[in-house]
Amino acid sequence: MTTAPHEQTKDHAHEWYCLRTQTKREHIAAAILSKIESVSVFCPRISQIKKTRTGKKRFTEAMFPGYVFAKFCFRENYRRVMHTQGVSGIVGHGLQRAIPESIITDLRESLPEDIIVAPDPSLDPGAEIEFVSGSLKGLNGTVLAQLPAQNRIQILLEFLGNTITVAASTDDILLASDQASG
């Protein structure tokens, strides 16, 4: 059986694919895949604030947990890509696996340096917060404003039946709703 010329070039085309990765191994798979000469990799990340035992910390994780995007010639690189450490499969429906170039282009253009930095929502005026460290640990309050002093916010606090205003370090507070998920 012979193939038409346009089908032959399609077989050797470099297209984008979504690869399933092992849990928390996106960065490993992306690093190894990027060393393969004919493979391009896109692993967008998000940097966000999360609660820890010692307060809150900023973590950088995969924007799409368990997935990375790779551009390669399916026919020539499929086996090598699939046997890359951290890669567990290719996402697709039937024979439809390739992702349109425009989707990856749009995603890349919306992410400076392949990362999005999520703001700390506990700093927004009106946010209901809980102190997670410091002398006010365990108390709840409402953010009034960010103060000009670096890393400080003004909080309205109900304390012993009185409403008072305090200034606190942003490191000492977390959104009250985040307390349940930690």
Question: What's the predicted TM-score (pTM) here?
Answer: 0.66
Indicate if 55 and 141 belong to the same structural domain.
no
Mean pLDDT, 10 residues at a time, over the chain (182 residues)?
Answer: 39 87 93 94 88 77 94 94 94 84 90 78 77 80 79 78 81 68 44
Beta strands, E only, 6-151: 14-21, 40-42, 45-52, 55-62, 67-73, 87-90, 98-99, 115-117, 128-131, 140-146
Per-residue confidence (pLDDT) for residue 169, from 0 to 100: 81
Q: Give the CATH number, domain containing residue 131.
A: 2.30.30.30
Indicate if 33 and 83 belong to the same structural domain.
yes
Indicate if 60 and 103 belong to the same structural domain.
yes
pLDDT tens sequence across 155-170: 888 877 788 788 888 7
Domain containing 171 equals 121-180
Number of domains making up the chain: 2
